[in-house]
Structure 1
């Protein structure tokens, strides 16, 4: 069965990564200086990433892609080299697609290709169904011999902060640099106050669980147009559902008619900065 799916022109792609946070399904990653489609399984073919490529390297093509065939995907993946293979296997593992992971292991063994994560068990019970962002996991942390002592000062300079509650023309937004953060970020990134909140106004939201998100676009548009917000930094988690916050910010900039800087930052569930990209 043919279906629509993203196609990347590697000759045009310069690896800037602007498209990566626009893919809510997590199907795109920058590897070896190029954006790669890590798995057909997670590309919905809707093309949310296309309009954000400054090199016009993305387009939608219609090709055989369903029913999903891990062997056919691996035929494509192995052409990208060891790092692309590793990223694909980790993508399957992290999304708990263990049956597909087993098929990929068998493929590599049959072809005599090195398996970069062969120590990972390919079969595991699938307790979780649905959005991969809500999958349960335990995050291992190393004991830090240089544990911090003392009290770090909060950089919060306003209240309220939830986007449904904030007045968009409040004094603290006027002529400010806005930090628009997903709810979970502050709990995942240890230096959130120091690295992101300092000298910024703040609004937080959850693009997955919050209701009436249309009002978010209206409020941020007002912050830009009426409160003269000078820039927006959007900080989200790596989970697919978080990408909607970037779309909200970008739409608000378009609706405002102003061309202010927008930067997207993606935080991993382990607390690392995975991606930074300027969106305009």
Structure 2
């Protein structure tokens, strides 16, 4: 059917992720540092994302598009949350040193297992944050050098570390603390610990 739906100008898009955060339906995601309309049937055409875009990269257009599917949106967690991912890739080893979404960002640096342990991880931790993940035990790498480069190259507002209560997860907390020190910057840090049954301990 022909209906009103958003269009994203990739040339204008700065990759800040504001539109993805503003989209309650989860229709917009960040792909390779740019906002992208992931599914026509998730876009309700109301345009909550338009005023959120500081680069004026989003507009309405009338074109052939799938009907808005409210049931599919609800089933995927839209309106009640939905995906809060604001950047890609999220793996620390794959993340770029510098990207537009890092500018004045609040970072979440999370151990892999946290997202599986805590049922509401997207809303509790990822919302309005740029996410980086890793496993200090399985990846067998010292993240501190890569993280220090990210912190040094970008203006980071704050860092939240999400880790499990198990001892091996202390590696990611330690790496972040070392990276902040190596960057020479005074970045606010909060460490949140999740139990193996999914509760936030502190």
Same structural fold, with TM-score higher than 0.5 when normalized by the shorter chain: yes
User: 137, 143, 150: which one pairs with 2:75?
Assistant: 150
Point out the structure with the larger helix share: 1
Q: Distance in 2 between matches of 1:250 and 1:204?
A: 15
Point out the structure with the larger strand share: 2
Report the counterpart of residue 196 of structure 1 in structure 2: 125
Q: Distance in 2 between matches of 1:232 and 1:223?
A: 12
Runs of 4+ in structure 1 deviating by more than 3 angstroms, as ranges, are none
Gapped regions of structure 1 (runs ≥ 5)? 1-148, 276-280
Matches within 5 A, 1:104-123: none
Q: Distance in 2 between matches of 1:177 and 1:168?
A: 15
Report the counterpart of residue 164 of structure 1 in structure 2: 93
- How many pairs were matched up? 125
User: 189, 197, 200: which one pairs with 1:270?
Assistant: 197
The structure whose RCO (Cα within 8 Å, separation 6+) is larger is 2
Report the counterpart of residue 135 of structure 2 in structure 1: 206
Q: Distance in 1 between matches of 2:106 and 2:87?
A: 13
Gapped regions of structure 2 (runs ≥ 5)? 1-73
Q: Distance in 2 between matches of 1:165 and 1:191?
A: 25
Question: SS in structure 2 opposite 1:211?
Answer: coil
Following superposition, the deviation at residue 247 of structure 1 comes to 0.6
Following superposition, the deviation at residue 150 of structure 1 comes to 3.4
Q: Distance in 1 between matches of 2:75 and 2:150?
A: 36
Question: SS in structure 2 opposite 1:274?
Answer: coil
Question: SS in structure 2 opposite 1:196?
Answer: helix
Q: CA RMSD in A?
A: 1.2
Report the counterpart of residue 76 of structure 1 in structure 2: none
Q: Distance in 2 between matches of 1:230 and 1:218?
A: 19
Report the counterpart of residue 228 of structure 1 in structure 2: 155
Q: Distance in 1 between matches of 2:146 and 2:120?
A: 27
Question: SS in structure 1 opposite 2:140?
Answer: coil
Q: Which has the larger radius of gyration?
A: 1
Report the counterpart of residue 240 of structure 1 in structure 2: 167
The answer on whether the counterparts of 1:225 and 1:258 sit within 8 Å (CA) in structure 2 is yes
Q: TM-score, normalised by structure 2?
A: 0.60
Q: TM-score, normalised by structure 1?
A: 0.43
Superimposed CA distance per residue, residues 122-158 of structure 1 (whole angstroms, 9 cap, x where no aligned partner): xxxxxxxxxxxxxxxxxxxxxxxxxxx7331100121
State whether structure 2 residue 178 is matched by structure 1 residue 259: no
Following superposition, the deviation at residue 172 of structure 1 comes to 1.5
